[in-house]
Structure 1
């Protein structure tokens, strides 16, 4: 009987012990996910940065563990890699701008004009493409942008032709793929915007454009920047869409893929892979003051 009573009191003592120590309780709750984050994510990034300082034997193809900055010197001095880097950043910025221009009116209608039932249907409609396969969507655009595709059929009465494969096709495809990631943060930001502020601006004599520029845009700007974090980072690291519709134009992701596969130069691939990471860290540091991170 005494043993049974002691066994029953043990969980109570543990519960009371943890209840009196909230920091210890929080630490135990977060220990498993933080351990996984440290090993799987931060550990992988650390291994990536370390490997970037190694080299590859040109005869055997084996990784040589000798510390040097040769890979970074090649990346910085070779004009080809500078061009690829600028092209990648330019495409990512252009995709972000295109998505923002398309997403804002859609999100504004959803948040301020659509009925609650229509809002739910529109949110489902926007999220539905995210459930489809990435390859299916990319290859669908390859078919539509081809010489005999839907885009050619639509433009031919106007005397125009389909853009074919290249930088424009890459921007179109990536803009379509990442558009939901821009719409949803802006929609959430507009939902939090009180209608009374816009009404007050109108009552004070402000025209619709002035109300948008002075009231709506400043308050929703953090949500736009939050969406840009997704579209910019996803475009920055993409390489599959470029393979499918980009033609001969490479991005940083393609350089990493080629050095892992055909070239079998893992250290240089790791060096190139650090570039998007550094760019995103600089981007996050730049947008931190806008409050965008609070809208994620």
Structure 2
């Protein structure tokens, strides 16, 4: 009987593998194939006279990026805003996720989960344009701050940081909630019984156990900010990596330079993912 059950299990495993073969093959062809074409195009060049792409290989595009001060500033600006958004969302998401995981009743937890997920049902552009209206000189933010003698940030890097933090906050709350829910309540009780104050319990018990979930959420917030170009275009005049890639693909018609510059966030995310993997973040995804 045990042999028959093992044979049936292996047969079902083979069927599952065959069912997954098609989607995996499509993933390899469509996703990894497009990345391969991107990296190949990064080594091509653009003919100065005809404006046509020349399929000869060289490092001129990467040399332009690394030697150009403007491109370096854009990379640092993009990475800096992505890091700021990630830290902001982590600070905002932690108390919300902790309350949902440890204090909320099942009914309240369900309502909070709906409240967190509801912004994801709205259109991305609608949310960005709503923030554009809020941050406008005649918007509701300046109207509300006027009695206090305070002026809103207007359009710029601060506005970009605010909008990104709002857009990606649910992507930080959900992994954190899942990670905090797995922490046994007995560990928190044991810390309290041993004389640990709330602050010490948070630093020595909660935070180390929730760190993989925190890093998992940061993967979403950091990577989504790193590759976005619509929000900076609508609420700021500052250039981000995505804006430069978009401009070179469209207006400038310089596909090789766009492909070379697009490899920068790919490399940054690969390094980030390697660090996240060492912290066990993939277990929380």
Distance apart, 1:199 and its partner CA: 0.8
Runs of 5+ unmatched residues, structure 2: 1-5
Aligned equivalent of 1:67 = 57
What are the superposed Cα offsets for residues 202-236 of structure 1, whole Å, 9 maximum, x if unpaired?
00001110011110110011100000000000000
Aligned equivalent of 2:40 = 50
Distance apart, 1:59 and its partner CA: 2.5
1:251 aligns with 2:272: no
Aligned equivalent of 2:3 = none
How far apart in 2 are the matches of 1:19 and 1:291?
Answer: 30
1:82 aligns with 2:102: no
Aligned equivalent of 1:9 = none
Aligned equivalent of 1:184 = 174
Aligned equivalent of 2:265 = 276
Aligned equivalent of 1:288 = 277
Question: Aligned to 2:188, what secondary structure does the other structure show?
Answer: helix
Aligned equivalent of 1:8 = none
- Tell me the C-alpha RMSD between the 2 structures: 1.5
How far apart in 2 are the matches of 1:249 and 1:295?
Answer: 34
Aligned equivalent of 2:199 = 209
How far apart in 2 are the matches of 1:18 and 1:219?
Answer: 39
Question: Aligned to 1:206, what secondary structure does the other structure show?
Answer: coil
Larger Rg: 1
Contact 1:18 1:25 in 2 (8 A): no
How far apart in 2 are the matches of 1:87 and 1:258?
Answer: 17
Q: 1:139 aligns with which of 129, 138, 142?
A: 129
What are the superposed Cα offsets for residues 131-151 of structure 1, whole Å, 9 maximum, x if unpaired?
111110001111101111111
Runs of 5+ unmatched residues, structure 1: 1-15
How far apart in 2 are the matches of 1:198 and 1:46?
Answer: 48
Distance apart, 1:26 and its partner CA: 4.6
Distance apart, 1:30 and its partner CA: 2.2
